[in-house]
C-alpha cells in the first residue's frame, strides 16, 4: 500500500523554539523510512535553526527571504518524490499522519490530502482550543474540500508542478489560491486521520487579531489570480459588511441615527451568521461573539486595505 515516495518540505526562519519538536515527531512516523525524506528551507535564520535542522533532515537549503510561497516553491523544486508534504516548523505530526493520508493517493483523481491542525489540549487555553475546533472539519470521515492549509498540505508532485506551485506574489492566502487551482486537476481531500498539531495558535484575542490581519493579506488579490469562486463569497462579503457596519457606527455622530441603526444591523447580521455556524462545533455562544468580533474586525481591515491598494495603486498590498 505504501509505495509512494514522500518529501516533507518545511520553511523556517528563526524557529529554534519549535523546529526540534517538529523534526523529532517526523522521526516517529509509521511510514517506510526508505520512502521518506525531509528538507528544511531556511530563510536566513540567525538562531540555531540550521544547526537543529542538520541533525534531523536530509537537506537544509538556503532561500533568499521573500514570500513564504517562494520558500515552499524552492523547497519543492529540490524534490523528486511522488508526493510533497508541506508542514510548518511549529507543527508536530501524529505517527499515523502519512499512513492515513497516502492511501488516498491510490485514487488517481486525488491531487491533495491534509487537514486543519489540532492543538495539544494540555498545552493550550480556551481560545486556542475554540479556534482549533472552529477551523477543523466537523466530519470524522474524509471529505472533498476547496483547499487545505499549507501547514498540513500533502500534494501530488506532478499536480503541484502542473499548476506552477504557490503564487509567490501573495503574502498569505497562498494555500487557498493553490487549492482553487488544483481543483481543476482533481479532488482535494480533508482527511481527519492526517493529523498534526499546531504549537503556536494565538493565546490571546490580541494575538488572534494580529494573526488574522496578516493571514488575510492576499485574500482579495488571490481572486484575480485563480478566478472568482462562489465558495469564497462569504469570506469576502461578510468581513466587508462587518467593516462597513463599524464605519457606519463611527460616522453616526455626523450622519445621524439612521446610519447608526444600519451599522448595528450590519454588525449583528455578520456576527450572528458566524456564531450560528460556529456554535454547532463549539456550543459556547457567548464566547463565540468575542471570538468572531475579533476575527471579523481583523478580516475587514485587511479587506478594505487590499481594496484600497487595488483601486488606487492597481495592485495588491505588499
Asked whether residue 208 is assigned to any structural domain, the reply reads no
Same structural domain, 87 and 141: yes
Buried (b) or exposed (e) across 35-65, using 16+ Cβ within 10 A? bbbbbbbbbebeeebbebbeebbebbbebee
What residue numbers bound the domain in which 102 lies? 6-201
Last residue of a domain, one of 201, 216, 235: 201
Same structural domain, 249 and 126: no
Same structural domain, 32 and 167: yes
Note the pLDDT of residue 315. 55
d(CA 10, CA 147): 19
Same structural domain, 241 and 196: no
| pLDDT tens readout for residues 70-123 | 999 999 999 999 999 999 999 999 999 999 999 999 999 999 999 999 999 999
DSSP strand E in the chain: where?
A: 6-12, 36-42, 59-62, 83-87, 91-93, 110-114, 143-144, 152-156, 187-190, 196-198
Asked whether residue 217 is assigned to any structural domain, the reply reads no
Number of domains in the chain: 2
Q: Would you state the torsion angle of the CA atoms of residues 228, 231, 235, 238, taken in this order, to the nearest 10 degrees? A: 100
| pLDDT tens readout for residues 235-291 | 778 999 999 999 999 998 888 889 999 999 999 999 999 999 899 888 888 999 999
Asked whether residue 213 is assigned to any structural domain, the reply reads no
Note the pLDDT of residue 293. 96
Same structural domain, 247 and 195: no
Same structural domain, 193 and 233: no
Same structural domain, 30 and 103: yes
Same structural domain, 120 and 17: yes
Asked whether residue 317 is assigned to any structural domain, the reply reads no
Same structural domain, 161 and 14: yes
Last residue of a domain, one of 166, 201, 236: 201
Report the predicted TM-score, pTM, of the whole model to 2 decimal places.
Answer: 0.88
Asked whether residue 88 is assigned to any structural domain, the reply reads yes
Who contacts 258 (Cβ-Cβ below 8 Å, separation ≥6)? none
Asked whether residue 212 is assigned to any structural domain, the reply reads no
Same structural domain, 231 and 109: no
CATH of the domain at 97: 3.90.550.10
Same structural domain, 56 and 189: yes
Q: Would you state the torsion angle of the CA atoms of residues 109, 111, 116, 122, taken in this order, to the nearest 10 degrees? A: 100
Note the pLDDT of residue 220. 60
Same structural domain, 12 and 127: yes
Asked whether residue 1 is assigned to any structural domain, the reply reads no
Mean pLDDT of the chain: 91
| pLDDT tens readout for residues 299-309 | 999 888 887 77
Which grid cell sits at 152?
Answer: 498540513
Amino acid at each position: 500500500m505504501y509505495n509512494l515516495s514522500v518529501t516533507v518540505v518545511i520553511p523556517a526562519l528563526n524557529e529554534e523554539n519549535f523546529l526540534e519538536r517538529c523534526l523529532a515527531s517526523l522521526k516517529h512516523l509509521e511510514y517506510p523510512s526508505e520512502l521518506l525524506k525531509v528538507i528544511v528551507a531556511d530563510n536566513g535564520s540567525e538562531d540555531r535553526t540550521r544547526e537543529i535542522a542538520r541533525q534531523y533532515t536530509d537537506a537544509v537549503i538556503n532561500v533568499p527571504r521573500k514570500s513564504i510561497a517562494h520558500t515552499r516553491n524552492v523547497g519543492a523544486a529540490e524534490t523528486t518524490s511522488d508526493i510533497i508534504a508541506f508542514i510548518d516548523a511549529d507543527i508536530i505530526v501524529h505517527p499515523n499522519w502519512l499512513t492515513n493520508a497516502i492511501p488516498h493517493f491510490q485514487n488517481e483523481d486525488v491531487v491533495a490530502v491534509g487537514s486543519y491542525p489540532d492543538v495539544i489540549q494540555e498545552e493550550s487555553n480556551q481560545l486556542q482550543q475554540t479556534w482549533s475546533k472552529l477551523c477543523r472539519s466537523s466530519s470524522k470521515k474524509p471529505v472533498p474540500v476547496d483547499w487545505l492549509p499549507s501547514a498540513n498540505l500533502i500534494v501530488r508532485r506532478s499536480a503541484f508542478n502542473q499548476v506552477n506551485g504557490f503564487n509567490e506574489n501573495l503574502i498569505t492566502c497562498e494555500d487557498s489560491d493553490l487549492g482553487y487551482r488544483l481543483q481543476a486537476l482533481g479532488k482535494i481531500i480533508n482527511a481527519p486521520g492526517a493529523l498534526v498539531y499546531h504549537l503556536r495558535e494565538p493565546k490571546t484575542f490580541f494575538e488572534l487579531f494580529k494573526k488574522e490581519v496578516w493571514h488575510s493579506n492576499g485574500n482579495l488579490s488571490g481572486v484575480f489570480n485563480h478566478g472568482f469562486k462562489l465558495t469564497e463569497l462569504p469570506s469576502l462579503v461578510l468581513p466587508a459588511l462587518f467593516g462597513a457596519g463599524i464605519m457606519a457606527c463611527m460616522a453616526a455622530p455626523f450622519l445621524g441615527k439612521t446610519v447608526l441603526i444600519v451599522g448595528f444591523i450590519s454588525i449583528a447580521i455578520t456576527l450572528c451568521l458566524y456564531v450560528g455556524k460556529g456554535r454547532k462545533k463549539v456550543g459556547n455562544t457567548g464566547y463565540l461573539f468575542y471570538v468572531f468580533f475579533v476575527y471579523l474586525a481583523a478580516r475587514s481591515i485587511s479587506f478594505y486595505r487590499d481594496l484600497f491598494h487595488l483601486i488606487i495603486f492597481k495592485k495588491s498590498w505588499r
